[in-house]
Amino acid sequence: MNDMLAKTMLTPTSTAEILVDALPYIQLFAGKAVVVKLGGAAIDPESDRALAQDVLLLRSVGVRCVVVHGGGPQVDAMLRRVGKQPEFKDGLRVTDGETLEIVRMVLVGKINRDLVATINKSAGDEPVAVGVSGEDAGLLRVDQRDPALGFVGDVTEVRAELLLRLLDDGMVPVVSTIGADESGQPFNVNADEAAKAIAVAMGAEKIVYLTAAPGLLADPKDETSLIPRLTSAELRRRIEDDSVGGGMIPKLTACADAVDNGVPFAHIIDGRVPHALLIELLTKHGIGTMIKREANW
Amino acid sequence: MNDMLAKTMLTPTSTAEILVDALPYIQLFAGKAVVVKLGGAAIDPESDRALAQDVLLLRSVGVRCVVVHGGGPQVDAMLRRVGKQPEFKDGLRVTDGETLEIVRMVLVGKINRDLVATINKSAGDEPVAVGVSGEDAGLLRVDQRDPALGFVGDVTEVRAELLLRLLDDGMVPVVSTIGADESGQPFNVNADEAAKAIAVAMGAEKIVYLTAAPGLLADPKDETSLIPRLTSAELRRRIEDDSVGGGMIPKLTACADAVDNGVPFAHIIDGRVPHALLIELLTKHGIGTMIKREANW
Amino acid sequence: MNDMLAKTMLTPTSTAEILVDALPYIQLFAGKAVVVKLGGAAIDPESDRALAQDVLLLRSVGVRCVVVHGGGPQVDAMLRRVGKQPEFKDGLRVTDGETLEIVRMVLVGKINRDLVATINKSAGDEPVAVGVSGEDAGLLRVDQRDPALGFVGDVTEVRAELLLRLLDDGMVPVVSTIGADESGQPFNVNADEAAKAIAVAMGAEKIVYLTAAPGLLADPKDETSLIPRLTSAELRRRIEDDSVGGGMIPKLTACADAVDNGVPFAHIIDGRVPHALLIELLTKHGIGTMIKREANW
Amino acid sequence: MNDMLAKTMLTPTSTAEILVDALPYIQLFAGKAVVVKLGGAAIDPESDRALAQDVLLLRSVGVRCVVVHGGGPQVDAMLRRVGKQPEFKDGLRVTDGETLEIVRMVLVGKINRDLVATINKSAGDEPVAVGVSGEDAGLLRVDQRDPALGFVGDVTEVRAELLLRLLDDGMVPVVSTIGADESGQPFNVNADEAAKAIAVAMGAEKIVYLTAAPGLLADPKDETSLIPRLTSAELRRRIEDDSVGGGMIPKLTACADAVDNGVPFAHIIDGRVPHALLIELLTKHGIGTMIKREANW
Amino acid sequence: MNDMLAKTMLTPTSTAEILVDALPYIQLFAGKAVVVKLGGAAIDPESDRALAQDVLLLRSVGVRCVVVHGGGPQVDAMLRRVGKQPEFKDGLRVTDGETLEIVRMVLVGKINRDLVATINKSAGDEPVAVGVSGEDAGLLRVDQRDPALGFVGDVTEVRAELLLRLLDDGMVPVVSTIGADESGQPFNVNADEAAKAIAVAMGAEKIVYLTAAPGLLADPKDETSLIPRLTSAELRRRIEDDSVGGGMIPKLTACADAVDNGVPFAHIIDGRVPHALLIELLTKHGIGTMIKREANW
Amino acid sequence: MNDMLAKTMLTPTSTAEILVDALPYIQLFAGKAVVVKLGGAAIDPESDRALAQDVLLLRSVGVRCVVVHGGGPQVDAMLRRVGKQPEFKDGLRVTDGETLEIVRMVLVGKINRDLVATINKSAGDEPVAVGVSGEDAGLLRVDQRDPALGFVGDVTEVRAELLLRLLDDGMVPVVSTIGADESGQPFNVNADEAAKAIAVAMGAEKIVYLTAAPGLLADPKDETSLIPRLTSAELRRRIEDDSVGGGMIPKLTACADAVDNGVPFAHIIDGRVPHALLIELLTKHGIGTMIKREANW
């Protein structure tokens, strides 16, 4: 409503001024790569549509976006559908061969496909989304983390050439995080970690985690206690302090690792807000939590 | 004030939606050339600054802008300063050798320079404006129109390669409309006509005339009688009917010629409105008068 | 055994002569595209490994291979696993929304993945296989065939650029035949037809169908009645005569369409024979059935 | 007359031998950049025509010429015409805002234009001269020298990309030496200094000053006391000794700075001699004064 | 002596004017190909040295020269040295297998080598001459002319790619005219004819025959009866009239064929005059005989 | 016979397996350069034909072959034919001016030509062989070895650009080892040494000497005493020990020098065995002697 009101009142000139305000950001990010990690919990048709628009708009002004997705809830649903109970150990999915097959089918054959379809639908006559799995062209090489977890892998090497070529050709890669070890055996990879590894390998300018929360909260139970920015050192202290919600730890660690390995900016923003990505990149309205290596805000 | 109010009320989301609305226009014009003709009467420091921002914003999203400028009032002022009385015949400047020298100095050495400086100032660390005269690299080849008018030329050939190369290199050419005949003699060329000839030669997508009027008026004395759009045939009828203000005739003829020679869109818009160019290209708010060959609006 | 014997007896010189014999074929196909359709029934780990070697060997001598796969039996198995009975009408799968989702997961998320993994495993340190779905970058645009069949589409347009770029980059694309209509809705596409449409769009030199049969048989019940070659016209007569096994009709029609639309050679060969592809392309031993437009064998 | 006589007597063979003699010089300079500074006092229609021919001939054999011009006398004339008295302080023009505007109009809008026209006239159907001002594309970035002098700037940075691109495209840039400071404010720049800064930034092979004198004279009052060559160190000693004419000091300092900053050769030659540039570059007849860093003549 | 005198008297300015005169010719031929046929009788160390200089000078100004040579007298000498009597039939060498071997050794292994060495010696640190035989890369494909003549071939196809690539790389190809038939058998080819076929295939601007005569003479016995220019039709009439010396017929026919097949200019000039090639191309002094298709001199 | 038998027994599958075995070798050598030295004694029509096939097959799979040839026996024959007695000093040919001319004619004008013709004949419609002499484009720059030997040179510099360009264009260069000194004087160069110098300059992967022996023999008189591999240090010890046949010393020294200067592999193999080159490169059957720097076999 409030929005409607504001839009109705916009004169041509004030509309132009908003575009003018976006100019320095567009100049700043043109030609740069941004890795966008979309958590399984943040995936739903409506916000996916808004994200598709954002990614296409950013592409049209020269930002090279890579979308990396997770899919925990969707995997759980499919496992149950085929009569298997999801099993976790210290928050990590125990992944036997059958589970791996379901994980791969759901990530690559369902969630990735739906995201590609949503972006291509928005793109009209120029369908530019291309699904990629970490197994393609050796994108994600992994080692097994722990035999007790089964086919769960840690990224040891990223071959980003395929992504770079697709971006050079104007495509928008959408990545499922299944990797392979040296023998070619597929492994499930944590999507937060994989997104970070890809951002580092590509020399990305930003990594943005779209979550189902407003960002990092000083008090996990209080949505108004958002921490707008902190350094990676501060973030690591909070992780060690146990003052952050357990579910956030892999994401937060990935953020700290990303900025400590050369990605200038990491963000955790609320994927439920329509156009959150666009707002973060192209407007003065910073949203969510920003992590940098140094405190030069 | 009203604008201020609207801006104050803008939520991040409604800001994002304005950017999203601009998406189809950005995609439509990316990689296309737009020739912007700026009349001498529409030149003043403040609207030049807004125009500079517009041109740079458009450039940052891939629009290839060429600015062509006039300078009648400024030439008159300089002629008077050196003690010469401007002289006209049927609305055209009688241009003897001394006048030509002053015209050239004012257009190339003053107005063009000021526009280049204004754009480069806005562009900060990436000064991309480059002044060009019609004499450079054979850009405007002319024949004398009428010996009684002296050094007044009609464009017979355009060599647009220099402009295309500058655009390929990310530059913004600013063009003064001095041409040369086969012997190398410089001539003054009507800037409306020259802008049209350049737009046709470049295969531009649009030519936009920034004037000191809201557009084409049904009744030249009534600013509210704006004709929002018409075909080149309708426009030619109005020119023949004498129903348009005399001063507008060269510009209107140039518009009709442009669209009849392959430029899809010609516009006459109000250069006094800040960001008029941006509004015309990137928002739903059509302003001024649009001319096309066919009535497929 | 017989092979072992032969190999044991091979002198260096006779080995060299086999390589020399392959020379004219290598020269003939270098730089040309070959589309290889692998039917679901012909997929099994061992023959996939041999196919992977063939594709990589061909790639190393400059042949640009695209692998297109089906997966009927595998889809049936998954449907049954989630408690759904496969349903067919005139030999075509009735595909409701739920079925489509399973088809897509099995083709894109399982069979395609397994083929990519098998090729990359063979390729060692240069993993070149890349999975592609018909939805990626608008590869397969379709229209619905018949509302009674649900989400079953006919290919109306192929955008082969993505495949051509991947081939230019030395990749081996593995294609699942899910297409999308104008609204972005995914559809199941017959893989034989899709392979043909891709071969035509790419200007392929050959299309090769790897099946679980020796080729086209004069008497479908007699494996020794192989027809080694025939023209597309002869093939169409046989299809109309009902003298071919019903299950072969889509494949045979695709072969006739391919050669009538500019693909010089179509082959139906026995995917159960190890290295059948290599034998067909690089040796004098023609195997299976070859279809050409003219009878210039 | 003497020349006429010589030409009449030339046999085809002796003509050929002159061309043959030019060979090593042409090979030496092909692909190299040469910056030619033309002083205001050396500008007149006839010697400009000869210079235009020289520049075009050199271009046709692959020498990349940039012409930089001054214009002191012409500026003085225009100032007087608009009723302003030229004012100098220690040999430098005191440049208030109004003076700057006149300087810019005369340099960019008159002298530069005339040189461009003269070259393009000589070039016939391939008009390759392009006027450039130091404000274009950030070519000359300056700082104010001394508030007491007004808008007089010292070059702090040269962005030579525009010149290099124009040369790559076969153009001949003609440069007026108006620079801009960080705020975009234009400044008058000494043309001798600007030419040197450009030559250094471009990695030029030579800088040639065309003056209204035979070169550096041991005795400024005796035209026969030409010093044919000296090192930059010797030149700096003479400057400190006050043994050179005061008017020559900026030019001589620029020569010494050029060779000490990597330009292999600096020359001061007599612009009043027709084809002086060609003679200097392509014949054995060294003319004027040559400055190098080391005495390896 | 006379030349010495002229040279002594040359002022710098008149030297410059000769260079200036060469300008339009240099512009005309830059980037164009010129085929120079050097007859065996015109080969001697001194004029070869002058030719080498000419070819290198022309190359340094962008002319793409191909040198084609003959070698009749040298072949005769070698044949006699190994005890074989040269044998001719209607002016054509009867070429048995042994003769062919000697022809090939003398042309490719001696004359070609000497020319390459002479050019590379002149070229100093940039040795750009490369020997080529008509057998290399299929340059000259031939059919046998007449079994009675043995291995004498007529050119049926020219593959000029090798020459074009060498020229693109800045090389100067020196061509011996041994061709090969479809079976790879080498054949002796008339060098006048081969030069013409190469010029046509390359789209050369000129073909120049360097002979031991002043050009085409109206009276073969009178060296002063030079015909400075004629059309190919006029030339063909003279050939049919028997009014030309018999030895000239292959060369004259080649000239007529060249201009009738798209080579704008053919010339027969005196290879004994030092720098004859340079004089013909770069000065006003036309020498020898020029043949064009139309009489538009 | 035995071969015939083996071939007759080959099933399609075993044929395919031989091709599959070649895969890792093809991948290993694709894009790499291999220099093949063919000794004069190993030249005869039949083994040349097999070598031509090998070189073309290797080229078709991306190996960049350069053939370097000798020609001692053929030079001796020609010298005798013109009545000159071959003369040697410490195993090196005493080369006066007349001998040099014969050497050059035989190498460049006969042996090189015959090899080019043989390869082009095998290559059918794509004649890719190009003859090159060390004098072309400065390929082999030499100094005189010893005045007493006359025109015998040692390689001091290799300009491999011509070879690299020809290889880039898909050509197969065939090199005669005549070099030139700084004055352009041609010299005879030992072909073993020249091949090594070329391999080093090109950064070749392998140098292969095709000789009329099975390789390096422990006992020069016993063909069964083949040493299959040794390091360059071991090889140098054997040379110093005088335990190798004198005629082999230049070749063995060249092998040691090649691997000590960056060529990974040097081979001495039996040029009399048909397809020896192919067997060495593409099969598991190592033949002859392999030299490497380190003993990492």
F122-172: pLDDT as tens digits:
988 889 999 999 999 999 999 999 999 999 999 999 999 999 999 999 999
Instruction: Given the residues A192, A196, A206, A215, select the one marked as catalytic.
Output: A192
What the block records as the tokens of A135 is 């197994």
Task: Let me know the angle formed at the C-alpha of C210 by C206 and C215, rounded to the nearest 5 degrees.
Answer: 95
Residues of B in contact with D137 (CB under 8 A): 120, 127-130, 171
ipTM (interface predicted TM): 0.92
Query: For residue D269, what are the β-bridge partners?
Result: D210
pLDDT tens profile D30-44: 899 999 999 888 888
> What distance in Å separates the CA atoms of residue D196 and residue D266, rounded to the nearest whole number?
9
Q: Which residues of A are annotated as a binding site for substrate?
A: 71-72, 93, 188
pLDDT tens profile F186-241: 999 999 999 999 999 999 999 999 998 899 999 888 888 999 999 999 999 999 98
What does the pLDDT read at residue A8? 44
> What distance in Å separates the CA atoms of residue E264 and residue A18, rounded to the nearest whole number?
63
> What distance in Å separates the CA atoms of residue E151 and residue E146, rounded to the nearest whole number?
8
What does the pLDDT read at residue F10? 63
Indicate yes or no: CB of D13 within 8 angstroms of CB of E61: no
What does the pLDDT read at residue C40? 86
Q: DSSP alpha helices (H): ranges in chain B?
A: 2-9, 12-29, 45-60, 72-81, 97-106, 112-123, 161-168, 191-202, 232-240, 249-260, 276-282
Q: CA of B277: which chain A residue's CA is closest?
A: A16
F101 in contact with E at a CB cutoff of 8 Å?
A: yes
B159 in contact with D at a CB cutoff of 8 Å?
A: yes
B183 in contact with D at a CB cutoff of 8 Å?
A: yes
The larger pLDDT score, comparing residue B214 to residue F90, is at: B214
Is D touching F (3+ C-beta pairs, cut-off 8 A)?
no
What does the pLDDT read at residue E108? 98
Q: For residue A22, which of B167, B27, B23 has the smallest C-alpha distance?
A: B23
Q: Is the pTM of this model over 0.95?
A: no
Instruction: Given the residues E39, E40, E153, E215, select the one marked as catalytic.
Output: E40
Tell me how close the Cα of B21 comes to any Cα of chain A, in angstroms.
10
Query: For residue A286, what are the β-bridge partners?
Result: none
E159 in contact with F at a CB cutoff of 8 Å?
A: yes
pLDDT tens profile E25-61: 887 888 999 999 998 888 888 889 999 999 998 998 8
Helix, strand, or coil here: A65? strand
A8 in contact with B at a CB cutoff of 8 Å?
A: no
pLDDT tens profile A236-293: 999 998 777 777 888 999 999 999 999 999 999 999 888 999 999 988 777 899 999 9
Task: Let me know the angle formed at the C-alpha of D191 by D187 and D192, rounded to the nearest 5 degrees.
Answer: 135
Confirm or deny that E237 is annotated as ligand binding. no
CB-side neighbour CA atoms (13 Å) of F137: 22
What does the pLDDT read at residue D91? 79
C60 in contact with F at a CB cutoff of 8 Å?
A: yes
pLDDT tens profile B189-207: 999 999 999 999 999 999 9
- Give the phi and the psi of residue D132 in degrees, each rounded to 5: -135, 140
D194 in contact with B at a CB cutoff of 8 Å?
A: no
Cα dihedral B281, B282, B284, B288 sign: negative
Q: Which chains touch A (3 or more CB pairs under 8 A)?
A: B, C
In this prediction, residue B10 has a pLDDT band, given cuts at 50, 70 and 90, of low
Residue of C106, C135, C158 best to disrupt the A interface, most CBs of A under 10 A: C135
Q: Measuring CA to CA, how many Å separate C162 from each of C109, C140, C178, C197, F58?
A: 20, 11, 15, 15, 31
What does pLDDT average to over chain C? 91
Task: Establish whether E21 is a catalytic residue.
Answer: no
B7 burial type by CB count under 10 A (0-12 exposed, 13-18 middle, 19+ buried): middle
Q: Which residues of D are annotated as a binding site?
A: 71-72, 93, 188
What does the pLDDT read at residue B132? 98
Task: Establish whether F40 is a catalytic residue.
Answer: yes
Residues in Cβ contact with B281 at an 8 Å cutoff, skipping those fewer than 6 apart: B25, B29, B34, B58, B63, B206
Residue ranges and CATH numbers for the domains of chain F are 32-292 (3.40.1160.10)
Residue of E99, E126, E130 best to disrupt the F interface, most CBs of F under 10 A: E130
Q: Which chains touch B (3 or more CB pairs under 8 A)?
A: A, D
Helix, strand, or coil here: D16? helix
Task: Inform me whether the pLDDT recorded for B3 exceeds 60.
Answer: no
Task: Inform me whether the pLDDT recorded for E297 exceeds 90.
Answer: no
Count Cβ–Cβ pairs < 8 Å, chain A vs chain C: 120
- Give mean pLDDT, residues B231-243: 92
Is C touching F (3+ C-beta pairs, cut-off 8 A)?
yes
Task: Establish whether F37 is a catalytic residue.
Answer: yes
Q: In what order do the strands lie in the sheet with A265-270?
A: A129-133, A172-176, A64-69, A33-38, A206-211, A265-270, A289-292, A229-231
Instruction: Given the residues E37, E196, E206, E292, select the one marked as catalytic.
Output: E37
Tell me how close the Cα of E291 comes to any Cα of chain D, in angstroms.
21
B250 in contact with D at a CB cutoff of 8 Å?
A: no
Confirm or deny that E170 is annotated as ligand binding. no
Q: For residue E170, which of E276, E65, E48 has the smallest C-alpha distance?
A: E65
Can you list the residues of chain C whose pLDDT is less than 70? Answer: 1-10, 246
pLDDT tens profile A49-61: 999 999 998 998 8
Q: What is the phi-psi region of residue A62: left when phi exceeds 0, alpha when psi lies from -120 to 50, beta otherwise? A: left
A270 in contact with C at a CB cutoff of 8 Å?
A: no
The larger pLDDT score, comparing residue E289 to residue F44, is at: E289
Count Cβ–Cβ pairs < 8 Å, chain B vs chain D: 120
Catalytic residue set of B: 37, 40, 72, 192, 251
Confirm or deny that C93 is annotated as ligand binding. yes
Can you list the residues of chain D whose pLDDT is less than 50? Answer: 1-8
Task: Inform me whether the pLDDT recorded for B102 exceeds 90.
Answer: yes
Residues of D in contact with E278 (CB under 8 A): 16, 19-20
C221 in contact with F at a CB cutoff of 8 Å?
A: no
H and E: helices and strands count for chain D:
11, 14
> What distance in Å separates the CA atoms of residue E126 and residue E59, rounded to the nearest whole number?
12
Q: CA of B29: which chain A residue's CA is closest?
A: A60
Which range (A94-103, A113-122, A188-197, F221-230) has the least confidence? F221-230
In this prediction, residue F9 has a pLDDT band, given cuts at 50, 70 and 90, of low
C11 contacts F9 by C-beta, under 8 angstroms: no
Query: For residue A174, what are the β-bridge partners?
Result: A67, A131
